[in-house]
Structure 1
Amino acid sequence: MIQWKEEKMIEVNIEKVWSLFFDENIKKIMPKVEEHTIIEKTEVEVGAKHQQKYREGKRVETYIVETLAFEDSPDKKHKQISFVLGKAFKISLGFTLLKIDEQHTKFIYEGINEGVNFVGRAMLKLGSEKSNKIMLKEFMDKVEQESLKI
């Protein structure tokens, strides 16, 4: 199992950063997502489900993403999702935004990646902590970069 929790200060209004986590903008911060289609409820509801297609090299994985938590208040935004990738990994991700002031937002990104079978557990053990940290930093930087464009 891999677990993480990272924080980053973004010099952008909370509403602008939050807009990146909605369906219409999700590909801006997750460019490997080729399709993101709502199939149950609405995107602002707990229990919402999306079918997502994700490209890794030449391979495209299709899976269902479920929204486990959703909060949209003026000073705090939070979305938690979960999905099983490749029948091998159960991934839970949390995105929290805290309003510091009108032009500063604290972005907290946390998650758990756990193997659901022998293959998944073995692959996680073989994975490098360094590459996980690089992917984390790249995602958080991407959120910052895209929020500065809005």
Structure 2
Amino acid sequence: MIKWHEERIIPVNIETIWHLFEIENIQRIMPNVVENKVLEQKEGVVGSTYQQKYKEGKRIETYIVEDLEYENTPERKHNKIGFTLAKAFEIEAEFTLHKIDDGETRFIYKGENRGVNFLGKVLIKLGGEKNNNKVVTDFMDLVEMEALKEANK
């Protein structure tokens, strides 16, 4: 199993950053998600499901994402999702924003990736933590870059 927990301060308003996590904007911060379709929208968000298609090289993986936790207040935004990828990995990811002031937000990205079968466990060992850390850092960099772009419109 691989776990991650990264934090950074982004010099952008919390609402501007949160806007990037809305379904119609998700490709800005997750460009490999080539399709994101609502399957079931639950009141209060938790339990809502989405079909996502993710492009990795020439392959496209289709999987179902479920909202496991959700909070949207002026001071704190939080969404925890879970999905099974390629019948080999169970992934949970949390995106949390804390308002520091009107122009600064703490962005926390944490999660875990578990191999659910022999292949998944081997691939996690082979991929290693170093590769996962690069994916996490690249994602956080992209969120920050898109937030800054949005703030400067």
- TM tier, shorter chain? over 0.9
TM-score if structure 1 supplies the norm length?
Answer: 0.97
Contact 2:91–2:112 (8 Å) recurs in 1: yes
2:131 matched to which residue of 1? Answer: 131
Ranges in structure 1 where 5+ consecutive residues have no aligned partner: none
Moved more, 60-69 or 122-131: 122-131
Give, in whole Å, the separation in 1 of the partners of 2:22 and 2:100: 21
Secondary structure of 1:138's partner?
helix
1:74 aligns with 2:68: no
- List aligned pairs for 1:3-22, cutoff 5 A: 3-22=3-22
**Count of paired positions:** 150
Sequence identity (%): 55
1:55 aligns with 2:55: yes
The residue identity in structure 2 corresponding to 1:5 is H
Give the Å deviation of 1:126.
Answer: 1.3
- The Cα shift of 1:44 comes to 5.7
| Aligned match of 2:146 | 146
TM-score when scaled to structure 2? 0.95
The answer to whether the 8 Å contact 2:4/2:133 transfers is: no
State the partner residue of 1:107.
107
Residue 128 of structure 1: how far off its partner (Å): 2.5
**Structure 1 residue ranges, 4+ long, deviating more than 6 angstroms after superposition:** none
State the partner residue of 2:122.
122
